[in-house]
Amino acid sequence: MSGTFLIDIGNSALKWAAISTPQNTGVMVYSDPIELAEQVRDFYKKQRPELIYACTVADARIAETLNAVCHRTRVEWLGSQRIFRGRFTLENRYEDYSKLGADRWYAAIGAAAKHPGTSLLVIQMGTALTADSIHCLGESRYEYLGGRIAPGPTMMYTMLMGGAARLKSIAPGSLSRFPLNTNDAVTTGIFDCIEGFMRGGLASLSEDASVKLVVTGGAARFFEFEIKERFPRAVFDDNLVITGLAARVASEAEKEH
């Protein structure tokens, strides 16, 4: 499948990889469709994609930007599935599986592919903060049980700055057990929210003693030390969605043969 690429578009970054090397991911950070279009044009000229498999939870204009720039290339948009069948199966228990964010679904597939044989709580720390529960039934069988959504760290900070007049000029600070200035108080408070959110997700899987905490997303590395300090078994993985997309494409190719 030479010339085939995988693309994951978030609200502020686009990740891409050749399907032959999904572990090697490129990133484009953007603030608006115009900036994204410029970067995608460079990608298009250098990589010459013949086929793109993509997923997105961003504004529809972002998908339209990719389609417009890559108009000579076939772009297949992949959404969530009722059930994934590949080297393992993952059944989607969402009330309406088509309404589950594609990034959450493919991150779940990617996490199960990379961490087989155990139940998982997948934390994504981007524009939104999500926690998705995957229960291992054994024998390469999993079920997606559902998840939580909250504002991501940057959104928490922005909302606080916009809603509290006396905090409008506060810069991010450091984490502290007893914050002694407003900058540190804000940053520590945001992390406390994140920690509580993660513990809530783990509590939902408390009957499963083998749960592995998998953390991903652009903001995850900012809090990596603190997360590992509070959750020693947590693993960080920046490539879950692309891995999940690659697994989906591989499973479809196997069906055709």
Displacement of CA 68 from its chain's centroid (Å): 24
Residue 201: its H or E element: helix 182-204
**78 close to 248: Cβ distance less than 8 angstroms:** yes
User: SS in 3 state form for 61-85?
Assistant: HHHHHHHHHCCCCEEEECCCCCEEE
Separation of alpha carbons 216 and 238, rounded Å? 5
**210 close to 76: Cβ distance less than 8 angstroms:** no
Among residues 201, 89, 103, 90, the alpha carbon closest in space to that of 147 is found at: 201
Residue 132 annotated in active site: no
* Residue ranges of the binding site for ATP: 8-15, 127
Among residues 220, 185, 8, the alpha carbon closest in space to that of 110 is found at: 8
Among residues 107, 163, 153, 114, the alpha carbon closest in space to that of 132 is found at: 107
123-134 burial, b at 16+ Cβ within 10 Å, e below that, comes to bbbbbbbbbbbb
Catalytic position from the list 32, 42, 59, 103: 103
Among residues 173, 158, 170, 219, the alpha carbon closest in space to that of 29 is found at: 219
Give the β-pairing of 120-125 and 89-92.
unpaired
Residue 6: its H or E element: strand 4-9
Residues marked as catalytic: 103
